[in-house]
Amino acid sequence: MNYANVPYYHGSISRQEALDALANKKNGSFLLRKSLTTNDAYAISVICDGRVLHYSIQYCEGSDYYSLDQQSTFPSPSEVCEYYMKEQGSLKTKLLHPIPFDESGSGSSGSGQEFPQANYLISQSRSHEQQEWFHGNITREEDAARLAAAYNECRQDGIYLVRQKDASTFVLCVVFEGQPRRHKITYDRDKQRYFIVGRSKNFESIEKLVNYYRNPNPDGLVCRLVTPCDRKGATKPLPRMGSSPTVNQQQEKSPIQKTVRSLSIGFSNFCVSLATPLKTLMPKNILDMTWSDCQDDAAKPTSINVLASSKYQDSEPIIRSVLSRYRPTSLAKECIGYLSPYRNITVSNNDGIAPDMYVKRKEIKIGRQIGHGHFGTVNLGVCKILGSATPCAIKTLTGSDVLKNKGEILHEAAVMQKLDHPYIVRLLGVCDNSVVSNDLMIVLEFAPLGDMLSFVRTHDLNSFPCDRLITLMTQICDGMAYLASKNVVHRDLAARNILLVSENFAKISDFGMSRILHESKNYYQAAHPGLWPIRWYPPEVFSDYKFSSKGDVWGFGVSMWEVFSYGKKPYDNMRGCDVLMMIHTGKRLASPIGCRKDVYQVMMKCWSEKPESRPGFAELLPMMQKLS
């Protein structure tokens, strides 16, 4: 924020100081101040009917926007004030009379005098601007992209840069364990010293701060600063999706122009008018929750790497015999589950289960439990398929769970029975004893290494390099291309729903949300929102409730991001509404540290705003194959 153009900004003052500055002022008099308790937060203090009211302006993390009511957003706190100087909005009174700041710390008479820059802004050293590690006023996404490019060259921790947020706030960004870590640097105008928030040491300049943390065993940082990220060698920020930069776009616009432009391209249509009905229709508070609050994985089976688990060594002989047939390092074509287990299965053309898919209880041997989820337990087992003992995973519902969830389980089975592809978990059979013993079993192909998300979290670039991840994600793309050819929309593609038969063989699973499209339509339209994994969903889902294969392409891009970040959480600690805002304003997840540029470019193609601008899976597959 350019403080020289904001005469009513009073800096970091307390509520009491704000009361003193506004004492004996007329109704509508106001000032802007920085919060003393919350980082990146500001407050408007305004007189209304003789009382001073305080309104908090919050920073939307990850979107570089500020908001007072969590709906209307602006690029800076000053533009929040400018808006409420014209519109009363949700405030008790319109902001009418700005109270300028003077160096004594009290409000002046408001005569409209030019705002004098505070001495600390004039006196602070600007020599850091000449350093190669200083990258100026770039965004959080840009610093991640530049660090990723530098990390790809030398593959070491300690790569760093400094960027500027406003006149007195900087951010030190350093790579540690392959991920960007950020430390906020603040300037204390009273002591005229720089310090990292939460650290006791302070310095005369940013240069001295950086030089200190280049020493071994730095006090309080995650690691030592080793190699500066050079501005000249940094990658350029990618343009907004769906448009190429023109001369007019490259010219700097004023904050007001940017806000007006956002409104003109559909901000109100997408973020304001959309957010309100979504909040009423979707499960309570889901748009206000952060990733950590939204238990996206809560209803998923707990995956276990069976081959790596010693507790299965004492399983009964038939189970041990089954497990001995798996090798963690086998290639896909060498594994059980690559070739189709089916022989002349007559698949039903309606929504029911084909008679050939039903198996008798005596043909199933159940072993140890390997997971549990929303629909009961998952057990390791053996099922007799066409006379041979086939290893399998068995989903079992018992008791009241059968009555509540039988319809959804059979719907998933009805979709899966029509799919026969090596990179998709196949349905092996259905055992319905709900009439006799009140239990229902779904027999599926077995993936002993568990889910992809858990697997990559145990690895890094050294133990499981990029080329091996590309092989697995190319298989998933191949499986998704098959689904698209069968007019099936998955609707829940994510790393947690990709299972591993071996380290070189992946399968798409969890078809509980899938839909088979009618030939007359290339999309499925939901009647109303549900408990959706919104971080994997494209914009058209929230504007029109439409799901298509091109929507699955978006989810494939997010799944790639999860895998190539080795299990990091997309949009970490962001609320659902902030995710929607970030996507609508053209911003995307930053490239994972260490991710190749060509791999990230494929992700960006998946995240084109309009479905027709995204490649289909048939187009995406050769792109993935070229990455190998």
Three-state secondary structure call for residue 469: helix
Q: What is the DSSP letter of 266?
A: I
> Nearest CA to 595 among 473, 479, 421?
473
CA distance 92 to 104: 29
Helix/strand number for the chain, H first, E second: 17, 23
* DSSP output for 10-47: --S--HHHHHHHHTTPPTTEEEEEE-SSSTT-EEEEEE
Residue 622 CA: distances (Å) to CA of 563, 603, 616: 19, 14, 11
CA distance 398 to 433: 10
Contact at 8 Å (CB) between 494 and 486? no
> Nearest CA to 583 among 203, 242, 96?
242
Contact at 8 Å (CB) between 73 and 67? yes
Contact at 8 Å (CB) between 467 and 626? no
> Nearest CA to 56 among 70, 64, 86?
70
CA distance 565 to 572: 12
Three-state secondary structure call for residue 65: strand
- Cross-strand bridge partners of residue 424: 508
CA 204 vs. chain centroid, Å, equals 38
CA distance 419 to 422: 10
Three-state secondary structure call for residue 48: strand
CA distance 261 to 249: 11
> Nearest CA to 429 among 447, 444, 407, 449?
444
Which amino acid, 506? A
By annotation, the residues acting in catalysis are: 492
Mode of pairing for the β-strands spanning 97-98 and 29-34: parallel
Cβ neighbours of 62 (radius 10 Å) = 21
Q: How many CA atoms lie within 13 A of 556 on its CB side?
A: 35
| Burial track 464-499 (b if 16+ CB lie within 10 A, e otherwise) | bebeebbbbbbbbbbbbbbbbeebbbbbbbbbbbbb
Asked whether the CA dihedral 314, 320, 324, 325 is positive or negative, the reply is negative
CA distance 408 to 400: 14
Q: Which residue's entry shows tokens 């002989």?
A: 317
CA distance 69 to 86: 16
CA distance 592 to 594: 6
